[in-house]
């Protein structure tokens, strides 16, 4: 890391730290070879702009740079750790932070930093440009100025955004919702499933109703920088071969988890070889997380038959996370959460990266068919009952004796009387039916803090491997 360069008044209105990592914003041709490819330049090319900003805005700026500025195609987890630790080192001394970065992997960096920063109470603004600062039509100056304005919120009278954000062109975007959508447009980034946090025109307008809340009082900021790189990102395509994936995942590999980019709402081929492979991968203890290839929308496991096979084999829904957020969350969660809690964390919004939480209550079934079963469980304390909008129930690997019906009911020791969630016939049970339940039947029992789920056969006995009650709630921003 280079020595710090400092600009600004002794009694500034705000203090902003700038970290220059490289990227187009500071690129230029090799001066000795006209027409040569653009390469990252040392930070001195930006010094004039930073000094002018500091003087005109009355903001104290401190800037550092990577020893070797990088094209963002070369940025990876080690660089994310370096960025996070640098912010942690200077966190107490500044009101906000700006990271200058190349655009190609900017969305990955913004997502990774969002997960690595715990208790973040100040803006960390990631920006770059499509044209070098030396170009006569550059967008670098405006992006840099706007990023500093967001970071210097005490001086600019803007709201504090306690998040990692991307400032680019005319928008302020949540970092872990951001995707690069163009290599040519000056508006190169969007957040497809999340409204912009701010718009930039003659004035900067921050949409405060979309901003995440400040961390609770007493929660200290820290950078948690452990990451697991034992992950793969795999995209399905017509003609995809299960044998290819088998060699990647079941050979002599240390891969622990796979991000699977599926079709539409989480669909995949119903080919038996492919689904059998997915099952064997899960049996080997490897996680598979499904995200959609579509720019907008979300994975809805079980909505179509083409996604039911994945769900039955334990594939985890990534909801509406971007591939960049899902991959970096997977890397961070594998490294920092107990193995038996990883799936639970992946399915719950932690940094504003997803719109829906899923809380699963799983119950082991009897090997031999029985006519009555009852379980008691305590729902996840993170579940906000008033936000529950959907509930599903699925019984897998069933065996049935008799021709009656199976009644499923939900109660709570200190709550209202039990509610009948549904009646299932032998035919429905053998098909592995997904039962969609009216959330109004479930919410009163969830509020009681403990639930009792009961299966009772009338002329019917049932055995199964697992029963899963899935509770879906809208995530807080």
Question: Which are the catalytic amino acids?
Answer: 24
- The number of angstroms, rounded, from the C-alpha of 104 to the middle of its chain's C-alpha atoms is 18
Output the CA–CA distances (angstroms, integers) from residue 195 to 153, 177, 330, 356, in the order listed. 21, 9, 24, 15
Q: C-alpha angle with apex 288: 286 to 294, nearest 5 degrees?
A: 160
User: How far apart are the C-alpha atoms of 285 and 250, rounded to whole Å?
Assistant: 11
Cα–Cα distances (Å) from 346 to 156, 204, 311, 327, 349, in that order, read 37, 34, 15, 11, 8
Which tokens in the block code for residue 442? Answer: 């479930």
Beta partners for 362?
468
If DSSP codes are grouped into helix, strand and coil, which group holds residue 261?
A: strand
Token pair belonging to 130: 């499509």
Burial (0-12, 13-18, 19+ Cβ within 10 Å), 65: buried
Burial of 179 (0-12, 13-18, 19+ CB in 10 A): buried
Q: Apex CA 346: angle with CA 341 and CA 348, to 5°?
A: 100
Cβ atoms within 10 A of the Cβ of 136, count?
5
Q: In what order do the strands lie in the sheet with 96-100?
A: 5-7, 59-70, 14-22, 96-100, 124-127, 164-168, 171-174, 198-200, 204-206
* CB burial of residue 422 (10 Å; 0-12, 13-18, 19+): middle
Q: How far is Cα 327 from Cα 77, in angstroms, rounded to an integer?
A: 12
Residues 6+ apart with CB under 8 A from 215: 119, 120, 121, 162, 221
Give the count of beta carbons closer than 10 Å to the beta carbon of residue 188: 21
């Amino acid at each position: 890391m280079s020595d710090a360069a400092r600009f600004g008044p002794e009694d500034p209105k705000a203090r902003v730290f700038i970290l220059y990592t490289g990227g187009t914003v500071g690129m230029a041709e090799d001066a000795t070879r006209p027409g040569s490819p653009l390469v990252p330049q040392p930070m001195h090319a930006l010094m004039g702009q930073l000094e002018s900003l500091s003087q005109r805005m009355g903001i104290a700026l401190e800037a550092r740079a990577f020893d070797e500025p990088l094209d963002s195609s070369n940025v990876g987890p080690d660089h994310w750790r370096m960025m996070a630790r640098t912010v942690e080192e200077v966190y107490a001394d500044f009101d906000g932070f700006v990271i200058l970065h190349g655009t190609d992997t900017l969305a990955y960096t913004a997502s990774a930093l969002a997960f690595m920063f715990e208790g973040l109470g100040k803006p960390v603004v990631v920006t770059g440009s499509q044209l070098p600062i030396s170009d006569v039509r550059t967008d670098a100056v405006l992006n840099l100025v706007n990023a500093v304005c967001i970071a210097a919120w005490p001086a600019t009278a803007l709201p504090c955004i306690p998040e990692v954000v991307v400032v680019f062109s005319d928008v302020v975007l949540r970092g872990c919702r951001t995707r690069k959508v163009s290599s040519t447009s000056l508006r190169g980034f969007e957040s497809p499933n999340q409204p912009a946090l701010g718009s930039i025109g003659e004035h900067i307008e921050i949409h405060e109703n979309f901003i995440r809340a400040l961390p609770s009082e007493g929660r200290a900021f820290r950078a948690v920088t452990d990451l697991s790189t034992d992950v793969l990102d795999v995209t399905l395509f017509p003609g995809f071969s299960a044998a290819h994936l088998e060699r990647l995942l079941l050979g002599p590999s240390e891969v622990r988890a796979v991000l699977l980019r599926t079709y539409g709402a989480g669909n995949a081929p119903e080919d038996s070889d492919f689904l059998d492979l997915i099952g064997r991968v899960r049996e080997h203890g490897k996680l598979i997380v499904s995200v959609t290839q579509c720019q907008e929308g979300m994975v809805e496991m079980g909505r179509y038959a083409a996604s039911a096979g994945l769900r039955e084999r334990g594939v985890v829904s990534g909801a509406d996370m971007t591939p960049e957020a899902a991959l970096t969350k997977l890397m961070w969660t594998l490294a920092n959460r107990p193995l038996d809690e990883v799936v639970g964390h992946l399915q719950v919004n932690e940094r504003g990266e997803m719109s829906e939480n899923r809380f699963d209550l799983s119950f082991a079934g009897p090997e031999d068919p029985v006519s009555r079963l009852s379980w008691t469980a305590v729902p996840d304390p993170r579940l906000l009952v008033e936000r529950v909008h959907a509930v599903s129930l699925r019984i897998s690997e069933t065996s049935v004796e008799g021709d009656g019906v199976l009644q499923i009911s939900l109660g709570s020791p200190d709550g209202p009387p039990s509610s009948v969630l549904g009646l299932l016939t032998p035919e429905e049970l053998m098909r592995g039916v997904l039962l969609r339940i009216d959330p109004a039947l479930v919410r009163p029992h969830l509020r009681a803090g403990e639930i009792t789920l009961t299966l009772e056969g009338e002329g019917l006995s049932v055995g199964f491997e697992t029963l899963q009650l899935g509770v879906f709630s809208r995530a807080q921003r």
